[in-house]
Homo-oligomer: A and B are copies of this chain.
């Protein structure tokens, strides 16, 4: 990829540090002046009030070079809107939303071998509860694997529970996956997921708006969730309590015009309450990766197969044929007149129905009467 001017990188690194995301007004100033001039104006304090409010507390910090050096040492690079791998199209939804809380990121620290724009193409977010059940983690892993096998990127937040299971599922299918963090891209949070984050970076990306070393704070998880939604064509919620970060991601996905999906579960499980609420409010119920692909994939190409139902020997019979078939007792022979009265069907209709039933091997003719062949006798009525 073509290198980005060092001054732009320094300016964007400075902007990420002084303006705690989401920083709508600062973003607008950057759009107007360009990143270098905007950073200079902020440093001087020569900015509109709204931008001053977002930047006053930290505008004197001079850590851009330190951040870039620390990042390089940790294998982290800064992807900026001026980079070829910036996902302009998916991120345009932030600007279009007009919602301050959904301000577009000013840049992203990323770690890993993936290309951000490529990974955001046909990406799907899988999010859910940290306190997941065995059912939830099983389903998240299956979905992650199924989506990866179908060529889609799985995006999540690297948390324990559903997030981790989704990343692992994608990795198990050999697919790249993207983790968006609420702390610096060089930190492992949770600590127990350090090996998982390493594996994610091998083929995919770990991304963050927060500079190297930044600690996770609660509001950063909520702010980070908008990135997960924004990088993806759709968001699947797998297990969520009623009030949860996953539901916030879901709400962001809706506000960004993305497909919102939820996996149902037992109504007796508190872990599925949030998912059921989302579905009742309009989220698409999904049960399999194919259904997610159909909802997020290419029109007319990524269609889910209908699940197979059981086949019955009587499939395809018309109502009269079915009535005659059912009128015949399981283990006794009857004549056509008896069948007509029992089925309530005229004699000539009984005769033509019997022709078709015999052709299908569902009845046998013997000594002027009809009976069922032995092999079909045990089927239950529906």
- Give the number of copies in the complex: 2
B residues within 8 A CB of A57? 340-341, 343-347, 350
Tell yes or no: A322 within 8 A of B by CB: yes
Please, how many angstroms separate the alpha-carbon atoms of A221 and B347 in the complex? 23
Tell yes or no: A349 within 8 A of B by CB: yes
8 Å CB interface, A63-102 against B = 101
Task: With both chains docked as a complex, state the minimum distance between the C-beta of A59 and any C-beta of chain B, in angstroms.
Answer: 10
8 Å CB interface, A282-310 against B = 284-285, 287-288, 291, 307-310
Given A219-B319, A266-B266, list of 17 further CB < 8 A pairs?
A19-B344, A20-B343, A53-B349, A56-B347, A57-B341, A57-B345, A135-B266, A218-B325, A218-B326, A220-B381, A242-B308, A242-B310, A264-B266, A265-B265, A276-B285, A280-B284, A280-B291
B residues within 8 A CB of A381? 182, 216-218, 220-221
Contact A280 B273, CB 8 Å, known A244-B382, A344-B20:
no
Query: Could you tell me if B267 and A139 are in contact, using CB atoms closer than 8 angstroms?
Result: yes
B residues within 8 A CB of A218? 314, 322, 325-326, 381-382
B residues within 8 A CB of A268? 135, 138-139
Tell yes or no: A58 within 8 A of B by CB: yes
B residues within 8 A CB of A245? 382
Task: With both chains docked as a complex, state the minimum distance between the C-beta of A224 and any C-beta of chain B, in angstroms.
Answer: 11
Query: Could you tell me if B309 and A242 are in contact, using CB atoms closer than 8 angstroms?
Result: yes
B residues within 8 A CB of A276? 264, 285, 287
Tell yes or no: A263 within 8 A of B by CB: yes
Please, how many angstroms separate the alpha-carbon atoms of A222 and B308 in the complex? 21
Task: With both chains docked as a complex, state the minimum distance between the C-beta of A3 and any C-beta of chain B, in angstroms.
Answer: 30
Please, how many angstroms separate the alpha-carbon atoms of A284 and B281 in the complex? 10
Please, how many angstroms separate the alpha-carbon atoms of A308 and B270 in the complex? 11
B residues within 8 A CB of A117? none
Q: Which of B20, B53, B241 meets A323, CB within 8 Å?
A: B20
Tell yes or no: A375 within 8 A of B by CB: no
Q: Which of B20, B264, B323 meets A219, CB within 8 Å?
A: B323
8 Å CB interface, A242-258 against B = 242-245
Query: Could you tell me if A288 and B267 are in contact, using CB atoms closer than 8 angstroms?
Result: yes
B residues within 8 A CB of A138? 268
Instruction: Give the one of A18, A61, A244, A267 with max B CB within 10 A.
Output: A267
Tell yes or no: A188 within 8 A of B by CB: no
Tell yes or no: A29 within 8 A of B by CB: no
Q: Which of B243, B279, B287, B308 meets A285, CB within 8 Å?
A: B279
Please, how many angstroms separate the alpha-carbon atoms of A200 and B119 in the complex? 60
Query: Could you tell me if A341 and B219 are in contact, using CB atoms closer than 8 angstroms?
Result: no
B residues within 8 A CB of A244? 382
Please, how many angstroms separate the alpha-carbon atoms of A57 and B139 in the complex? 55
- Nearest CB to that of A329 among chain B residues? B215
Task: With both chains docked as a complex, state the minimum distance between the C-beta of A342 and any C-beta of chain B, in angstroms.
Answer: 8
